[in-house]
Structure 1
Amino acid sequence: MARPRTPLLSKERIRDAALELIDSDGLAALSMRRLADALGVQAASLYTHYATKEAVLDAVANRLIAEVDTTGFEHGWREGLLTWARSYHAALAAHPNAVPLIASGTQRRDEFLGMANAVHGGLVGAGWPARRATEISGAVKYLVIGAASTPFASGFADDVQIYLDRYPHLMQAHRLRADAARIDHDSFELGLQCLVRGLEPGPPAP
């Protein structure tokens, strides 16, 4: 039998299948066996491309971070932060089950390291001290990760009776779920705008 023109597996196909499993069933559900089943192969076949499950997860993380835009620093540090934060948030909002993976940090992930390098370089190049640049990057990351992992508006119950007797200031909370996407977007934008507007050049905190 002739060999297929294209291989059955590739790093990209395995990575994308892993992301699909994470999206549908959550990060904890991913295993090499389940990934192999989804691809219709034996688990041993995966190890030709990825030595460990952690390597697959690194590839997934790199794919998501590759969607983040750090080019805004070409137009100033404020524009850089806004562009970076918005694209970072969008990448995570599209894959909420993968947020804990992204929150685990740069480690040795190339795309992560490239993103961190671009952000830090953009801030330092604009005149921020290196330590304060690191603090600013951390503050933006906290905002992005928090917004992506803990949506606010959708967390309220639909039943108005829950609020009527004991929580009168929340009597309209049952309406939030219907407009959750807009409220969460606007809340993130408010936090981001306040953070960026509030930054003033100066020495890092002691």
Structure 2
Amino acid sequence: MSSPSTRARGRPARLDRPGTVETALRLLDESGLDALTMRRLADALGVQAGALYRHFATKQELLTAMAERMLAGVPAAAGDGPGEGAARDWSEQLADLARDLRTALLARRDGARVFAGTHSTGVNTLGFAEAVTGVLREAGFGDEGAARALMTVAGFTVGHTLEEQAAVQPGNEDSADPERLRRAVASGSFPHLTASLPTLTSTDFTGHFEFGLRLLVQGLRAVEQEQEQP
């Protein structure tokens, strides 16, 4: 395969959406979202920046396609085979879907930042949404409740992962600094924060996520029980 440096003069690069998205994701992993520009992507593909706009009218459209690609396989990873779902409580299925969404976002540098604010209608994103709402509707939630629960689960998972990735991002001066927090708390009268510092400064992000997820599921279970009451 000829590279941009060896391609015959005047021969344009052949662009396609899937290949462009994969290259954009590679650049994202290498340098992060802030460094991902349309010009840099065009350079990596060996084309003029204007050529990209034939496939993606805006950078936001590109980010939406990247977010869609990141969710490939998420419902399948959490789903059960035919007949197996009935053997598992709906709360376990829902929690697994939330965990798989977090895993997919963590698999890419700044994955949550890319995903946040996008509104893909691709098969991967809709497949995840279908899996979540399906679990909830089969558990007895109404259409409105299932939809609101979907938005709540997605919002919690993306928000938590956004904070998690920001906290561990190399070179981020605004990232979480346990020592800075300890000094700030010690400089004033914050007895409750002082007692909670071991947890507040912990980098056990999975533990933090699981705690929040458990609260969310318990809240949904309470809603389900209210619906069952005559």
Structure 1 equivalent of residue 117 of structure 2 = 104
How much has 1:111 moved relative to structure 2? 1.8
Q: Summarize the Cα distance change of 1:107–1:11 in structure 2 as closer, same or farther, 3 Å threshold.
A: closer
Secondary structure of 1:104's match?
coil
Kept in 1, the 8 Å contact 2:39–2:49? The answer is yes
Q: How is 1:36-47 mapped onto 2 (pairs within 5 angstroms)?
A: 36-47=42-53
The one of 33, 36, 58 equivalent to 1:30 is 36
CA RMSD in angstroms comes to 3.5
| 1:184 has 2:205 as partner | yes
Q: Summarize the Cα distance change of 1:197–1:8 in structure 2 as closer, same or farther, 3 Å threshold.
A: same
Structure 2 equivalent of residue 71 of structure 1 = 79
Kept in 1, the 8 Å contact 2:64–2:118? The answer is no
Matches of 1:114 and 1:161 in 2, distance apart? 46
How much has 1:62 moved relative to structure 2? 1.1
How much has 1:149 moved relative to structure 2? 1.1
Matches of 2:74 and 2:21 in 1, distance apart? 18
| 1:87 has 2:100 as partner | yes
Q: How is 1:132-171 mapped onto 2 (pairs within 5 angstroms)?
A: 132-151=145-164, 155-158=176-179, 161-166=183-188, 167=190, 169-170=193-194
> What letter matches 2:114 in structure 1?
L
Matches of 2:118 and 2:149 in 1, distance apart? 16
Gaps of 5+ in 2: 169-174
Identity of aligned residues (%): 33
Q: How many residues align?
A: 198
TM-score by length of 2: 0.69
Structure 2 equivalent of residue 195 of structure 1 = 216
Kept in 1, the 8 Å contact 2:64–2:115? The answer is no
Matches of 2:68 and 2:120 in 1, distance apart? 11
Kept in 2, the 8 Å contact 1:164–1:171? The answer is no
